[in-house]
Chains A and B, each alone.
Chain A
Amino acid sequence: AQSVTQPDIHITVSEGASLELRCNYSYGATPYLFWYVQSPGQGLQLLLKYFSGDTLVQGIKGFEAEFKRSQSSFNLRKPSVHWSDAAEYFCAVGAGHNDMRFGAGTRLTVKP
């Protein structure tokens, strides 16, 4: 069964600094990969997804992620973080409609 690891439980960055959130997965074939963001007290919102094709995918709110098959990674990046980006971020791996696995999440704090 596929699994997802987000190695960083909590990350703090300064506003305006760059951001990279790590995600590693375990799966036998090329999986479907997602990043979701959860603001406090809210549900999850899709930031971006990868199914095939170009390994660098662009998402909403200025986020991008790169699929690296050799490293089994799908890291999320943003060149300049805004205070409103403070939230919890979840990486997810999907093998089918009923088989989505989520990582434990990375909480992002943004310092002024």
Chain B
Amino acid sequence: NAGVTQTPKFRVLKTGQSMTLLCAQDMNHEYMYWYRQDPGMGLRLIHYSVGEGTTAKGEVPDGYNVSRLKKQNFLLGLESAAPSQTSVYFCASSPDRPLGYEQYFGPGTRLTVT
């Protein structure tokens, strides 16, 4: 049981390049999330999914797209990277329960855009 995994762990992009971050979970969770973490700002929700084939915007969605074609995978795309997207990105998942819906986090991806 690997929990939540993220690929890659580190990446450096030039401004304007594109990339996709992959998140996978093996806990059969319905909900999945993408956050970014910036110093002094905690975690901010980018996009989330309430089930396979669904996605929705979070607090800071601009410049990002997501897809959830399979229940276990949640992809985060940057079509044209900008230096403001330099951050640490965390994926999380949670089960479909009315209570006890704590989120389980992956190890993060550190992205630098130059």
Contact = CB atoms under 8 A, between A and B. Distances in A.
Interface in B63-114: 90, 92, 94, 96, 99-108
B41 to A, nearest CB: 6
B100 A51 contact: yes
Interface residues of A, number: 23
Contacts of A45: 105
Contacts of A52: 99
Given A42-B108, A43-B90, A105 B42 contact: yes
Nearest to A103: B42
A96 B107 CA distance: 23
Contact of A44 (B50, B90, B99, B100): B90
Interface of B: 4, 31, 33, 40-45, 48, 50, 56, 58, 90, 92, 94, 96, 99-108
